[in-house]
Amino acid sequence: MNNIAKIIFLDILKSKITLIYFIVLALVSWISFLLEESQSKAVLTVMYIVLFSVPLMALLYSTIYIYNSKEFITLLLSQPIKRGRLWGSIYTGVSGSLCLAFVAGAGIPVIVYSFNMTGFLLLGMGIGITLVSVSLAFLIAVYTDDKSVGIGISILLWLFFTLLYDAILLFLLFQFSDYPIEGLTMLLLMLNPVDLARLQIMLRLDIAAMLGYSGAVFIDMFGTTWSAVLSFIVLLAWIVIPYLLSLKRFRKKDIV
């Protein structure tokens, strides 16, 4: 980690928002494991909390941070630093601090009560969703100059992935139920990183009833092992592609 990434990393860790994020995750995770008699039920409870709260925090915080750091970024650009390296350093600092806050908050109770592959997979998916959300936030911030518009897009994107997407998917499946839409369903599932993370954990827990129609189609077409591999690859693409697009834009963008 270079000096710029380290400065950003430590700066974010010291913020009150990050501290509150850590405390909330820690509280709900500990309470979930202490109240639930079944380990699987506790993991499911933590999973839904993670898939709901982590994208919101990572998207909003990262978007706001980029807008608030405009003067700092402009100052750094006046130095002999390559834009690609600078953008990568900012991404490393922001994503690293949010990932650490997540692991420290949710990771300790998960490791204590679910020290197995399911627990580690839950933490891995939480980190993955954090990285996806930060990549999307960077893409939004670099393409939108207006701060209020950028924040609005981030909130709408979070609502779409966590709440609206499943309703829209269910509506489309109902409307076109008379047609062979398995391939379309699989494609639509890949368009939601939150659903992909949920699918990974459900596959590990082997809870077929909670996979949903799209998840069932995914497994039916590829099998359990290949479904896990493919969903992991697509989730990785959700991290890399938005970041590369934001990097391409940042290299050409007039910051001043």
pLDDT given for residue 222 in this prediction = 47
Q: Going by C-beta distance under 8 Å and a sequence separation of 6 or more, which residues neighbour residue 142?
A: 66, 246, 249, 250, 253
- pLDDT-derived band at 214, boundaries 50, 70, 90: low
* pLDDT(211) > 80: no
Q: Round to whole Å and give the CA distance between 34 and 46.
A: 12
Q: Round to whole Å and give the CA distance between 219 and 226.
A: 8
Which of 56-70, 75-89, 184-198, 228-242 has the highest average model confidence (pLDDT)?
Answer: 56-70
Q: Going by C-beta distance under 8 Å and a sequence separation of 6 or more, which residues neighbour residue 58?
A: 95, 98, 129, 130, 133, 134, 137
- pLDDT-derived band at 77, boundaries 50, 70, 90: confident
Q: What mean pLDDT comes out for the span 177-197?
A: 73
pLDDT given for residue 230 in this prediction = 77
Give CA separation, 81 vs 74, 76, 84, 171, in Å: 11, 7, 9, 50
pLDDT given for residue 168 in this prediction = 78
* pLDDT(199) > 50: yes
* pLDDT(240) > 90: yes
Q: What is the pLDDT of residues 103-125, one digit of tens each?
A: 999 989 999 888 888 888 889 99
Which of 52-66, 196-210, 212-226 has the highest average model confidence (pLDDT)?
Answer: 52-66
Q: Can you give the residue range of the structural domain that contains 181?
A: 3-252
206: left (phi over 0), alpha (psi -120 to 50) or beta: left
Q: Which of 70-74, 78-82, 85-89, 201-205 has the lowest mean pLDDT?
A: 201-205
Give the total number of structural domains in the chain: 1
Question: What is the pTM assigned to this prediction?
Answer: 0.89
- pLDDT-derived band at 208, boundaries 50, 70, 90: very low
Geometric angle at alpha carbon 149, from 249 and 255, rounded to 5°: 35
Quickly count: other Cβ atoms within 10 Å of residue 10's Cβ.
Answer: 11
Q: What is the pLDDT of residues 42-67, one digit of tens each?
A: 888 888 888 899 999 999 999 999 99
- pLDDT-derived band at 243, boundaries 50, 70, 90: very high
Q: What mean pLDDT comes out for the span 195-204?
A: 77
pLDDT given for residue 236 in this prediction = 93
Torsion, Cα 247 249 250 255, to 10 degrees, reads: -170
Q: What is the pLDDT of residues 3-34, one digit of tens each?
A: 889 999 999 988 999 999 999 999 999 998 88
pLDDT given for residue 218 in this prediction = 54
Q: Round to whole Å and give the CA distance between 24 and 51.
A: 14
Nearest to 133 by CA among 176, 173, 192, 86: 192
- pLDDT-derived band at 216, boundaries 50, 70, 90: low
